[in-house]
Amino acid sequence: IYIGSFAHCISLNELEVCERGAIGVDEEGVIRFVERNVSNEEDIKLNFGEEWKDAKVVRLEGKGFFFPGFIDTHTHAPQHPNSGLFGKTTLLDWLTTYTFPLEASLSSLPKAHRIYTNFVSRTLSHGTTTCAYYATRHVPATNLLSSICLARGQRALVGRVCMDSLSPPYYRDASTASAVADSRACIEHTRRIDPSGTIVRPIVTPRFAPSCTAPCLAALGALAHETSSFIQTHISENHNEIALVKSLFPHSKSYTDVYDTANLLTPQTILAHAIHLSQDERDTIRARGAKISHCPASNTALTSGCCRVREYLDQGLTVGLGTDVSGGCSPSILEQVRQAIWTSRFVAMGGPGADQPDEKAKLSTCEALYLATRGGAEVVGLADKVGVFEVGREFDAQMVRLGVEVPEVEGESVQDSPVSLFSFESREEMVEKWVYSGDDRNCAVVWVRGRVVHKRKGVVV
Ligand code: GUN
Ligand code: FE
């Protein structure tokens, strides 16, 4: 029984902040009750009968609240060591300068082990309970990432990257057949280590259209259908990339059409970036039920563009947030919440993609938090399982603590983040202070299905 304040998004526009809550979670990690006006814990135990009599109580002391775990709908685990390195590059020269050489080096399994254990720890420490990962094209390293996620208890979609075209000789698939066979091997590994797919699931991963031949795209579409797998790829991130796709696939109507022709657009498809989509492309994506991963920090760092998320939401597209490390330099979804809001404000101020100021383009704090939790849950196929504290859903959550003193400077005790230095008046403002000035120091404990998967040093639960 988790006792204390909790907050979550009831809908895109409705943030509930409950001050005196109690959430009862059973052995399977399923939420069995959500109480909103608790005066003392003995009453709860009595109200809910014998089976709760000896339940363990996790009490949130002091300022803070329980919040649903974050969902990162797009990131690249092998690229973590490159975070912060992009210089003045944009997508295509960034890939050849920074990304391909680093990814190629994960042919070393010890190196992959170091990078992946560290990155999974980092995403968990930022409250990410579910993550859609790109790995590399190496089968052993990709399988290792699946195994690490399973061992750490982080829900994950793990994809072996396919690239049989236009890639450097030192980092490419030898043939379409080997790309498909290697992908199949990774799907089989993931299904073997977690047959139920509760924690790790495979995801078919054509890197992006320029990296794949048309036969490869089609074969991966067929593989995903045959194995009922999720699919992830990049789409319409940058103007040069779009022009490249046009030249490589001259008979396709659009970038979206390239994927549609290969049967890669399904309700289980995650399309990263999706910045410069025509109305026709948006209509196709919606009709196929494919989902969008908005990666605002990456889109700014690589000057890819400002995604018009407000329009997408108004048009009924499903959107979640992605860190896109290392296009994006932070593994934090809380950071993406802020960045999504900033991007929407640049659009509102008449920035790129807007002819004139448009107040309606602004995303609210609640809307961005919705994308980080429930929107993300829809993107990764967990809409009925996580993202909100409701009876029947699973308890994937983070304990957000505000104003705790930690000895961070020698000889001095400083408060754990700027959050605690501000006063706040309402419960909603407490959440806003966290969103705009909080960080991983505020993320004290993280649970997946009621199991502790991360705990900050010194925290006792
Ligand atoms: N397009 C193809 N590969 C990548 C990648 O690794 N990162 C990003 N942001 N876009 C891509
Ligand atoms: Fe990416």
Indicate whether 75 pLDDT > 80.
yes
Q: What is the mean pLDDT of residues 294-314?
A: 97
Q: What is the mean pLDDT of residues 150-161?
A: 98
Ligand 2 centre distance from Cα of residue 458 (Å)? 35
pLDDT in tens, 30-65: 999 999 988 777 777 767 788 898 899 999 988 899
How many percent of the chain have pLDDT more than 70?
94
Q: How far apart are the first and last CA of the chain?
A: 12
Among the bound ligands, the one closest to the CA of 304: 1
Evaluate: CB of 237 within 6 angstroms of ligand 1: yes
Evaluate: CB of 102 within 6 angstroms of ligand 1: no
Q: What is the mean pLDDT of residues 401-430?
A: 68
Residues 381/428, Cβ–Cβ less than 8 Å: no
Q: How confident is the model at residue 148 (pLDDT cuts 50, 70, 90)?
A: very high
pLDDT in tens, 315-358: 999 999 999 999 999 999 999 999 999 999 999 998 655 567 88
- Could you identify the atom of ligand 1 that is nearest to the CA of residue 327? 9
Angle value at C-alpha 131, between 113 and 196, nearest 5 degrees: 90
Residues 171/163, Cβ–Cβ less than 8 Å: yes
Looking at residue 157, what is its pLDDT? 99
Evaluate: CB of 208 within 6 angstroms of ligand 1: yes
Q: How far apart are CA 121 and CA 125, in angstroms?
A: 6
Q: Which of 102-106, 132-136, 224-228, 404-408 has the lowest mean pLDDT?
A: 404-408
Ligand 2 centre distance from Cα of residue 416 (Å)? 31
Ligand 2 centre distance from Cα of residue 445 (Å)? 28
Looking at residue 50, what is its pLDDT? 84
Q: Does domain 2-68+387-455 have CATH number 2.30.40.10?
A: yes
Evaluate: CB of 234 within 6 angstroms of ligand 1: yes
Looking at residue 354, what is its pLDDT? 58
Looking at residue 414, what is its pLDDT? 66
Looking at residue 421, what is its pLDDT? 47
How is residue 461 written in tokens? 């639960």
Residues 1/40, Cβ–Cβ less than 8 Å: no
Q: Does domain 70-379 have CATH number 1.20.272.10?
A: no
3-state secondary structure the chain: CEEEEEEEEEECCEEEEEEEEEEEECCCCEEEEEECECCCHHHHHHHCCHHHCCCCCEECCCCEEEEECEEEEEEEHHHHHHCCCCCCCCHHHHHHHHHHHHHHHHHCHHHHHHHHHHHHHHHHHCCEEEEEEECCCCHHHHHHHHHHHHHHCCEEEEECEECCCCCCCCCCCCCHHHHHHHHHHHHHHHHHHCCCCCCEEEEEEECCHHHCCHHHHHHHHHHHHHCCCEEEEEECCCHHHHHHHHHHCCCCCCHHHHHHHCCCCCCCEEEEECCCCCHHHHHHHHHHCCEEEECHHHHHHCCCCCCCHHHHHHCCCCEEECCCECCECCCCHHHHHHHHHHHHHHHHCCCCCCCCCCHHHCCCHHHHHHHHHHHHHHHCCCCCCCCCCCCCCECCEEEEECCCEEEEECCEEEECCHHHHCCCCCHHHHHHHHHHHCCHHHEEEEEECCEEEEECCCCCC
Closest Cα to atom 3, ligand 1: which residue? 207
Tell me the one-letter amino acid at 101: P
Residues 264/221, Cβ–Cβ less than 8 Å: yes
Indicate whether 167 pLDDT > 70.
yes
Domain ranges of the chain: 2-68+387-455, 70-379
Looking at residue 406, what is its pLDDT? 64
Greater model confidence, 1 or 426? 1
Q: How confident is the model at residue 413 (pLDDT cuts 50, 70, 90)?
A: low
Looking at residue 230, what is its pLDDT? 99
The dihedrals phi and psi of 353, each to the nearest 5 degrees, come to 85, 0
Evaluate: CB of 137 within 6 angstroms of ligand 1: no
Alpha carbon distances (Å) from 310 to 313, 316, 436:
5, 10, 20
Greater model confidence, 259 or 425? 259
Looking at residue 36, what is its pLDDT? 94
How many percent of the chain have pLDDT more than 90?
87
Evaluate: CB of 389 within 6 angstroms of ligand 1: no
Q: How far apart are CA 23 and CA 43, in angstroms?
A: 13
Mean pLDDT (the chain) is 94
pTM for this model (two decimals): 0.96
Q: Which of 19-28, 179-188, 366-375, 398-407 has the lowest mean pLDDT?
A: 398-407
Ligand 1 centre distance from Cα of residue 171 (Å)? 14
